[in-house]
Structure 1
Amino acid sequence: MTNEAIQEGYPSDQFSTFSSQNSKINYTYNKIREVKSYRVGELFSAYRDILWDDGRHKYNVSSFIGEIDEILLGERFSAFDQSTLDNLIGTLRQRGNSNATINRKMAALSKLLRKAYKMGDIHSLPEFRRQKERAGRIRFLEREEEARLFAAIKSRSEDAYRLSVFLVDTGCRLGEALGLIWNDIQEHRVSFWITKSGRSRTIPMTERVKEVIKLPPAEGRRPKGPFTQLSQAQFRAIWNDAKAEVGLGADDQVVPHILRHTCASRLVQGGIDIRRVQMWLGHQTLSMTMRYAHLATNDLDGCVVVLEKPRGEQPAGNAESSLFSSPVTTPSAKRKQTDEGASAKAPPKATRKSSKAK
């Protein structure tokens, strides 16, 4: 070798250099990283404030991650393999968790692990597969139930009553309503900017909503928004007391979110098409709105007429009399009847010629 083979020095960006006449190789420290192991709970403590906003959802995620860490017995890992995930899902199912609940817990875990993977804390991820969920019943309030419940809420808090009316007539989420400021309300419309999907939407207001967003004149500083004087915890406490008073305390589906279901159900039952309901509610995908599609039974009423009518009384081959005539085939059927009628009235060509000859 003509040059020094090794140059000694303190490690910095360049650890050592090997030189020859044909090649030069640099060895550096900056690509070498110590492999560490973490518990799920430690990763959550590191990234929870980055990944989740403060609120009820963050509280639920904290509970989910705590349960997962407990199932894993606080095991430390640098790679989360597929077998660990499969065993975790199996344990949750043995504990009686439904597929929908498992999906929510796995969604939180997946979000956390993907962040840890991007940050270099772990070096492999499992494949998260969504469990097939069974469509459950959707509970909504009847008009009479709404009247009783809202009266009990109003007797406790005028602000909570106004918020309840706003929720059922707009179908918005509780957090969306509480986050409203006065600039979000323009003339006959209200805009929701802070939404679960991250997409803003604007909807018209009913007359009842226009009334409840008006605050009575009061001394002092005006609140930032129509419902900012309430917190979620305060509203839920008033709600639970009121529903117990009216005999709905044992129904665990009668929570504030039922007002969103009630709004959606009334829209569908009133004949509003599913796409407009999706826009009104701010659903990110149509499949979420399709949960209410079974309530749109008006289009099926004609089926009952056909089934109840004796077979001999049903018109045969008459497109105009059919309740379910296709708009594509009906005009052609009319044209066919018109052509047949015209041919019956018109005399044969030969006959016309012979009459002219005479």
Structure 2
Amino acid sequence: MAIYPDKKNGELTGRFRVELQRGKDRYRKRHDSFQEAQADEERVQVLWATGGDIHAPVVSPAAPEGMTLRRAVKLAQSILWKDMPSAPTSWAHIRDFLEFTGEDTLLDDIGTQHIRDFRDHVASLGRSKATVNRYVAHVRKFMIWHLEEGNRTVPITKQTLKFDINRETAGRLRWLSYAEEETIVSLVPANVGKLIRVAIATGCRRDELITAKLDQIEGNLLHLWVTKNDAYRAVPMSPETTAMLRELIETRTMPSRRVLRRSWERARIKMGLQDDHEFVFHSCRHTCATRMVDAGVDVLKIQKWLGHKRIETTQRYAHVTGAGLVEALALVGERKAQVTQKASNSGSPTPPPHAPHGGEMMQIDLAA
């Protein structure tokens, strides 16, 4: 492997650098994602082996006239979502789209109504709004990839192909109390319990953990090269968490998706939470975020820790708990007592603070 995280002034840039050398020939190039860097490395190695020109521009193969969905899936299957933990799910959604829309449907003929009909079909199967939106998002990525590769010739605009998604309600963000954490860990197999501990401590997604390798662990830092949004991030761990994750990998006892799902479901029933449909393994991620908020961690740091591109996503996790509101009320009461005491000691009322100079006004967000 000749791919390295790119750095500038000692800081990671989030990009990846390909460095290859063969005799006097040396090749270096930066890419925005690990997948792009990996594909470029393979391309250069093949060209060197066959005597090709590594500096020749990369040209996508001409789009077959009238490319069908069936052909489009075969063409993209070895490239799109390559090496991504979510690849099986992404391709399952694409195959569902293929079956529903018709494998002989032409890429250029797919329009907004196709997407809406497929979205409504998935919803009719009882899928949640969030799940339906993921189906649509995967189809969107599939279509945009083919447009960029030149396989779809009709531009994707609001007039030709619109990817409508369901408006998701905020809903209830379910996290585990400390008592629930102890209970579920006691009800599942030991290796599943360790994975739950690691998930709560790190806030990592399921697939980020169950696909982790030893070379991703550096000291007490977990490097995540392949993530949901294609952005590298490093997650700090305590020595205890690091030891548990290492043990799961080294002893090859990391639970599979199926084992994890079945173990969690059985424990949920034993806990009397069979009707609590939001009590899922992803709740461990909510739990990590909630505990950081309760500990007073800045929301921007939580955003970086969890790997969110948009701060709005983090703010959904960074909800205010009832305990936080009680604490806020206590702080207001303490401040009022201090001001009142100061005023009584001085014998004159305390004037309000001066407004900022230069005509600027403080911006305060008030929640109705």
Deviations 1:34-77 (A, max 9, x none): 732513x5422331331124677333333433443444355622
Does the C-alpha gap of structure 1 residues 176 and 327 become closer, same or farther in structure 2, counting only changes over 3 Å?
Answer: farther
CA drift of 1:331 comes to 11
Q: How does 1:143-158 map to 2 (within 5 A)?
A: 143-153=178-188, 156=189, 158=190
2:226 aligned residue: 194
Match of 1:82 among 101, 109, 112: 112
2:148 aligned residue: 118
Amino acid at match of 1:144: A
Does the C-alpha gap of structure 1 residues 88 and 209 become closer, same or farther in structure 2, counting only changes over 3 Å?
Answer: closer
* 1:133 has 2:168 as partner: yes
Q: Answer with 1 or 2: which has the greater Rg.
A: 1
Amino acid at match of 2:297: I
1:46 aligned residue: 75
Residues 110 and 128, structure 1, Cα contact 8 Å, conserved in 2: yes
Amino acid at match of 2:292: L
CA–CA distance in 2 between the matches of 1:33 and 1:64? 24
Does the C-alpha gap of structure 1 residues 179 and 329 become closer, same or farther in structure 2, counting only changes over 3 Å?
Answer: farther
CA–CA distance in 1 between the matches of 2:138 and 2:119? 13
CA–CA distance in 1 between the matches of 2:184 and 2:315? 28
Q: How does 1:190-269 map to 2 (within 5 A)?
A: 190-206=222-238, 208-213=240-245, 215=247, 225=250, 229-269=254-294
Does the C-alpha gap of structure 1 residues 113 and 181 become closer, same or farther in structure 2, counting only changes over 3 Å?
Answer: closer
Secondary structure in 1 aligned to 2:272? coil
Q: Between the two proteins, what is the percent identity of the paired residues?
A: 25
2:97 aligned residue: 68
Secondary structure in 2 aligned to 1:194? coil
Deviations 1:220-270 (A, max 9, x none): xxx864766443333333333333333334433232221111111111122
Q: Structure 1 residues 170-179 or 181-190, which shifts more?
A: 181-190
Residues 177 and 227, structure 1, Cα contact 8 Å, conserved in 2: no
Q: How does 1:338-353 map to 2 (within 5 A)?
A: none
Amino acid at match of 2:179: E
2:208 aligned residue: 176
Secondary structure in 1 aligned to 2:289? helix
Residues 299 and 315, structure 2, Cα contact 8 Å, conserved in 1: yes
Residues 168 and 260, structure 1, Cα contact 8 Å, conserved in 2: yes
Secondary structure in 2 aligned to 1:295? coil
CA–CA distance in 2 between the matches of 1:248 and 1:169? 23
Q: TM-score, with normalisation over the residues of structure 2?
A: 0.62
Amino acid at match of 1:65: I
C-alpha RMSD over aligned residues: 4.2
CA–CA distance in 2 between the matches of 1:201 and 1:34? 39
Amino acid at match of 1:181: K
Does the C-alpha gap of structure 1 residues 224 and 147 become closer, same or farther in structure 2, counting only changes over 3 Å?
Answer: closer
Does the C-alpha gap of structure 1 residues 296 and 200 become closer, same or farther in structure 2, counting only changes over 3 Å?
Answer: farther
Q: Identify unmatched segments of 5+ residues in structure 2.
A: 1-61, 334-338, 358-368
Secondary structure in 2 aligned to 1:176? helix
Deviations 1:115-136 (A, max 9, x none): 2223343321313355432212
Amino acid at match of 2:130: A
2:191 aligned residue: 159
CA–CA distance in 1 between the matches of 2:356 and 2:145? 60
Amino acid at match of 2:209: A
CA–CA distance in 2 between the matches of 1:88 and 1:301? 46
* 1:278 has 2:316 as partner: no
Q: Identify unmatched segments of 5+ residues in structure 1.
A: 1-31, 216-222, 309-313, 333-358
Residues 115 and 164, structure 2, Cα contact 8 Å, conserved in 1: no
CA drift of 1:276 comes to 1.3
Q: Structure 1 residues 110-119 or 256-265, which shifts more?
A: 110-119
CA–CA distance in 2 between the matches of 1:95 and 1:243? 24
Match of 1:103 among 133, 147, 158: 133
> Higher relative CO (CA 8 A, sep ≥ 6), structure 1 or 2?
2
Amino acid at match of 1:100: A
Does the C-alpha gap of structure 1 residues 188 and 36 become closer, same or farther in structure 2, counting only changes over 3 Å?
Answer: closer
* Pairs aligned (count): 283
CA–CA distance in 2 between the matches of 1:64 and 1:172? 23
